[in-house]
Amino acid sequence: EGDDPRLKVLTEQLKRLWQTHLASMLDCIGRGRVAFEKCWTYSVEQNLNYIEKLDALPFEHTEMRLGAKGQYEGIRLTIDKDNAIDIDAAKTWWLALDPTPLEPHGKSRYIGAPQEVWRERRETRERLAMFIGRFVVRGGVAYAPETETDEWGRVHDAMQITQELIENLYSGGSVVFPNVWQTTPGGGAHRAYEFTESPTTLDPTPLLSVIDAGDTAQLRSFGIPEKTLTEGDSVGSFAMVKQQTLALYAVIEGILSQCVSSFERYVIRPSIELNWLPENRVRIAMSYPKL
């Protein structure tokens, strides 16, 4: 709102800033916040001060600076343990997600239930990999002579040969033994090579069910109804899916509205205050259609 021709130029520049840096802003979902340095410039032709670009500052090297009454005073950029730079509030933007009085710097959406569920899912997948590698095909018990003598009189370790053949069976091959009779010390007789049990295949379905349940739990931990993203064994009513979709939209719009409010406060408002006196001040606001 306003009649000053500079207003349109500034509005277009702010739109470009938003579109260019939106992907960087969304890092706040995982990290809880994103810190930017505002690079100001001045246009002689337009007689306009504006932010040319926003430089995203490294997460590991930035710290919020607060005043005695909790007001935002800027960012401390730590280059190394003995070298730090303080950048004041006018030249920085701290985008905080879900800030609270005790956590004004923001909080990651991954912390809490999502992180706990993710760890459980990772452990379950590790167990599944171990299960498939070691227990899906379980061999039986084999009997074999300790040694074998070939036709040239050479003695071979029959136990080792049998073990190698069994390993070949585990890896998907097959085992063939000569079918000859051997006398046991007790006077009985048995086949020289004989499987007393056949290999069995174990069922990984319980572990797979746990993984499927973990996928659902991961979505719910973010406040997202699972039916909006995945289709289960049964299809629910249209009304139920519609309500769950509205819940998903509410999660998305909640994050987007926080980004918009922060952009208005720390980018749009300072740009207006730097170019117009209070009695001539124009108004720029952001809006977006509801999902």
Confidence at 95, pLDDT banded by 50, 70, 90: very high
- Radius of gyration of the chain from its Cα atoms, rounded to whole angstroms: 34
Do the Cβ atoms of 180 and 194 come closer than 8 Å? no
- For 150, the 3-state DSSP assignment is coil
- Amino acid identity for residue 23 in this structure: A
Global pTM reads 0.63
- Amino acid identity for residue 146 in this structure: E
Mean pLDDT for the stretch of residues 89-116: 88
Measured CA distances, 232 to 118, 209, 221, 289 (Å): 20, 12, 18, 31
pLDDT at 55: 92
Q: How far apart are CA 33 and CA 107, in angstroms?
A: 7
pLDDT at 270: 94
Which of 126-140, 150-164, 220-234, 276-290 holds the top average pLDDT? Answer: 276-290
Q: Please, where are the H alpha helices in the chain?
A: 6-25, 28-31, 113-134, 158-170, 205-221, 238-263, 269-275
| 46: phi then psi, degrees, rounded to nearest 5 | -95, -10
pLDDT at 224: 75
User: What is the tens place of the pLDDT at every residue in 134-150?
Assistant: 666 555 666 777 888 87
Average pLDDT, rounded, for the chain: 82
Residue 46: how many other CB atoms lie within 10 Å: 14
